[in-house]
A = this chain, B = another copy of it.
Amino acid sequence: MLKRYLLAPGPTPVPPEVLLAMARPMFHHRAPEFDQVFAEVRDGLKWLFQTKNNVLILAASGTGGMEGSISTFLSPGDHALTINGGKFGERWAKLCKTFCIDVTEIKVEWGRAIDPQLVADALKKDPSIKAVYVQASETSTGVSHDIKALAAIVKPYSDTILVVDAITALGVFDIKTDEWGLDVVITGSQKALMLPPGLAFVSVSPKAWKLADQAKNTAFYFNFKKEHENQLKNQTAYTPAVSLIIGLQEVLKMMKAEGLDGVFGRQAMLAKAMREGLQAAGLTLFAKESPSDALTAVLAPEGVDGQAIYKNLRVQYGITAAGGQDHLKGKIFRLSHMGYMDRFDIIIAVAAVEMVLKGMGHPVKLGSGVAKAQEILLA
């Protein structure tokens, strides 16, 4: 027997209350029972996104939200600026190319955050850029970008929007959509929102809708304007993922009970304990700056295969972490602490990493990292 622990950066564990809610008998989405649930979650999402904007709810993974954030606001030939500090930053340019957008990509060393001045310079150089695409938290490297600073740079450009992939950020740390002036903010269900995969959420500002009105919409399903019109009538354009939306209702209740400050405070504490615990065990973080509170990427020690650490965690100890992607494969492994996570998830992770390294013959003092994590996690 091997108990299973889900410490990958999505899907993350789903709370029992939410699983039970989703096990309710199915009901129809064009019926009063659904209307009430949908109105409640639409309201709750505004609270979570810290916005007055309508937050679109799409039956899609986060990538669907990213795709629609290109096809809805830009037309073929339009100029866009993308920030590539990892696997997901890279995806922006790929998506732009699919929709024949003319891309300028700022490459950031994986493990580092964007220097906002580079964005300021790029916009100055090419004021025809209609949208800047960035991650709030780059899942492949465990680094967060300074969204507040980027928003301040983009704001003065009246025809340029800032699009934020907050898929591993929203509900983890503070993202002030309206206060900072974020035009499009995207997240997915399977991260801090503690749901199974299957829903994407997108907040769209009036400035972004203005851009959408000028754009040649090149998509049918990810047509945000159509979705928006329907959702303002408390309906969806296409069949919604009913059970996930019922689960979302439960998730929002839980998050409201804890409060945004409570959630962010817990996530920050867990992230700190994970980072300092692993460092106390002798490991080095991959993030050279601005580590994301959502997940921690760790360098495999010299001479130890990162993929083997990742595999041993799963096979020997039942812990699903994540390995490195692309050129980081074998060099890092990643542990998530976002969503339905509490103190002992960190204790488990740090203890297990110590045990795996010990088992691989790496010199590690059992309990050394755990002790540090315990100190930070004291109630």
Interface residues, chain A, with chain B CB atoms under 8 Å away? 1-3, 5, 23, 254, 258, 262-263, 266, 312, 316-318, 340, 342-345, 347-348, 351-352, 354-355, 358-359, 365-368, 370-372, 374-375, 377-379
Contacts and interface: CB of A to CB of B under 8 A. Distances in A.
Interface centre among A3, A262, A367 (most CB of B within 10 A): A367
A355 B374 contact: yes
Nearest to A356: B379
Given A1-B342, A5-B344, A342-B318, A351 B379 contact: no
Given A1-B262, A3-B344, A342-B3, A366 B375 contact: yes
Contact of A367 (B3, B263, B368, B378): B368
Copies per complex?
A: 2
Nearest to A352: B344
Contact of A343 (B317, B358, B370): B317
B378 A355 contact: yes
Nearest to A369: B367
Given A1-B254, A317-B343, A344-B3, A351 B366 contact: no
A312 B3 CA distance: 26
Contacts of A379: 312, 316-317, 355, 359
A354 B374 contact: yes
Contacts of A351: 344, 347, 351, 370, 374
Interface centre among A2, A3, A263, A318 (most CB of B within 10 A): A3
Nearest to A5: B344
Contacts of A347: 347-348, 351, 370
Contact of A371 (B3, B370, B375): B370
A340 B359 CA distance: 25
Interface centre among A365, A372, A378 (most CB of B within 10 A): A378
A348 B2 CA distance: 16
27 contacts: A1-B254, A1-B340, A1-B342, A3-B345, A23-B23, A312-B379, A317-B344, A317-B379, A344-B344, A344-B348, A344-B352, A347-B348, A348-B348, A351-B374, A354-B374, A355-B378, A355-B379, A358-B374, A358-B378, A365-B371, A366-B370, A366-B375, A367-B367, A367-B370, A367-B371, A367-B374, A370-B374
A75 to B, nearest CB: 44
A282 to B, nearest CB: 14
Contacts of A316: 379
A348 B348 CA distance: 7
Contacts of A348: 344, 347-348
